[in-house]
Structure 1
């Protein structure tokens, strides 16, 4: 009898031990317990080195060891307005060891025509990092002191005014076309390879005004060689050099359109790894040194988490499609491709 009691006791003890062991194993599946990352993480940067998105990726690269315990390795995969890099990211392993930088173009490219992947559904947003509106600028010695004077001149001189922008289909191009439509003016658009090139054309008197983000213009504004007339943000910018620049809305034009940059992953990333990345990337973006770097580039930190980013993608896609339909930019892009 005693042996049977002892045997039952030992079996019960074994069952409790197995239960505890099983419960502990279950805990390892929680986001904070997942064994990730154990090696450096590759970050695909779909635009060229030295641009606003690239420099923000480099700022994250410096902070990754502190907040994630592993390094970021940023690699530029350029071409096709971001499509080359995003194509590679879309087919990368969804283990969390390859992520990428996103931008407004991740939504625009599928609207412009057929792409290898539909990026809004092939990629998973992890966070939005920053935003930057577009400015309309003229040379400091131009005869137009404000936007109204520029509009009046354009109306009196149809098709004689040219505006420069960062390329067909770029956000700066869209803002310029929306402006022309809302102001009811007939002007010519001149594409360049980025804001720096279009600003050089302005200073050389090849165009009469330029639409570009603050990062491409801030040094010239500080130096007094160009003057900003309007900004495409909801509210005025807080930087000392730009706080006097009115928004389009203040001037009576319903124009709100901003560039944004974020971080994305392949679609099938596991919830546990995704949450670990989301938590760490948020800490990097909200770090004071990241904010300082971003503001020096002319951008503003505007953090959105994964769910907020996904909702913004849907809303922005609808807005951008309407802009393309209303302004005729889509026809310009299709004509350029032919």
Structure 2
């Protein structure tokens, strides 16, 4: 006799709220995007999302919980490029690119290097000149050791031949507060984390890490590192992932619902208001991107010496 329970479960899915793990603190870029997904979920997924912030260890605490969750569609989460970076730095509980399966890419974004408005630096060269005259004075904030903000900051310092002391935080909001309080002098964060403070003039962005400038009006005048003569080109992304082994029917419902949600004009408008841009990819294209980006990042952290430096800092 054929067991119909799996099919019955899939047909009823989802019949209860879905836990949504955010591996960083409240108020950061990943959290802000998660809150937008939360608003749209009942319409497009048929159930509400229950956001659970699990900050710590550069995202790995949250991704450990996500990777170890039951693959029934009732626990999913948000992931950034750090998902690929963290396994490069030493043993982790899971190898996230293979322990998780991608469902959808939401956005692709540059990192932004920003300082307080009171600082005399108007561009990257000004900051470098100051750092050389005042060695050891400049600290840069980011959202976790070995994360993309940390990598971008270390890569910039190496190329510029200056010393910047890194200071990790559990969210972009914490790093921004520290910058405003004068505890760090520079941050490498995603544009959503600092958009309002940049818009109000409290912060000024000196460079973005993408191949092109950002299209958001708040950032259109900010040049890329590449334009200023520095080969610092890194894009972050936010994707939605689930534990490996979802039943095909459950995965199909999630993928279809997320695709419609992410491409909805209202959701797109809300994302753009954060200073981000929709860059949807489905599971197949996203899996290929994970593989390509993992190869590129492995090469970068090894060739620049960042890998050894970060391993030392994590001990």
TM-score range, shorter chain: 0.7 to 0.9
CA distance in 1, matches of 2:219, 2:271: 16
CA distance in 2, matches of 1:187, 1:73: 38
Q: Give the conservation status (yes or no) of the 8 Å contact 2:86–2:147.
A: no
2:144 aligns with 167
- TM-score where L is the length of structure 2: 0.86
Q: Which runs of 5+ in 2 are unaligned?
A: 1-5
2:105 aligns with 128
**CA apart distance, 1:323:** 2.6
CA distance in 1, matches of 2:174, 2:38: 28
Are 1:335 and 2:306 counterparts?
no
CA distance in 1, matches of 2:74, 2:180: 44
**CA apart distance, 1:35:** 4.8
Question: Do the aligned partners of residues 105 and 133 (structure 1) sit closer, same or farther apart at CA in structure 2, a change above 3 Å counting?
Answer: same
CA distance in 2, matches of 1:54, 1:47: 7
1:307 aligns with 284
CA distance in 2, matches of 1:270, 1:240: 43
2:116 aligns with 139
**CA apart distance, 1:304:** 0.9
Q: Tell me, what secondary structure is at the counterpart of 2:228?
A: coil
- TM-score where L is the length of structure 1: 0.81
**CA apart distance, 1:268:** 1.2
2:217 aligns with 240
Are 1:152 and 2:123 counterparts?
no
**Superposed, which structure 2 residues align to 1:52-67 within 5 Å?**
52-67=29-44
**CA apart distance, 1:207:** 3.8
Question: Do the aligned partners of residues 184 and 306 (structure 1) sit closer, same or farther apart at CA in structure 2, a change above 3 Å counting?
Answer: same
CA RMSD across the alignment: 2.6
Question: Do the aligned partners of residues 219 and 56 (structure 1) sit closer, same or farther apart at CA in structure 2, a change above 3 Å counting?
Answer: closer
Q: Tell me, what secondary structure is at the counterpart of 2:108?
A: strand
Question: Do the aligned partners of residues 73 and 198 (structure 1) sit closer, same or farther apart at CA in structure 2, a change above 3 Å counting?
Answer: closer
Q: Deviations over 1:152-207 (max 9, x none)?
A: 34345544443333332222111111111222333333334443343344444444
Q: Which runs of 5+ in 1 are unaligned?
A: 1-28
Are 1:46 and 2:23 counterparts?
yes
1:115 aligns with 92
**Superposed, which structure 2 residues align to 1:122-271 within 5 Å?**
122-271=99-248
1:80 aligns with 57
Question: Do the aligned partners of residues 40 and 164 (structure 1) sit closer, same or farther apart at CA in structure 2, a change above 3 Å counting?
Answer: closer
Q: Give the conservation status (yes or no) of the 8 Å contact 1:135–1:231.
A: yes
Stretches of 4+ moved more than 6 A in 1? none
How many residue pairs match? The answer is: 308
Question: Do the aligned partners of residues 189 and 79 (structure 1) sit closer, same or farther apart at CA in structure 2, a change above 3 Å counting?
Answer: closer
Q: Tell me which structure has the larger Cα radius of gyration.
A: 1
Are 1:96 and 2:57 counterparts?
no
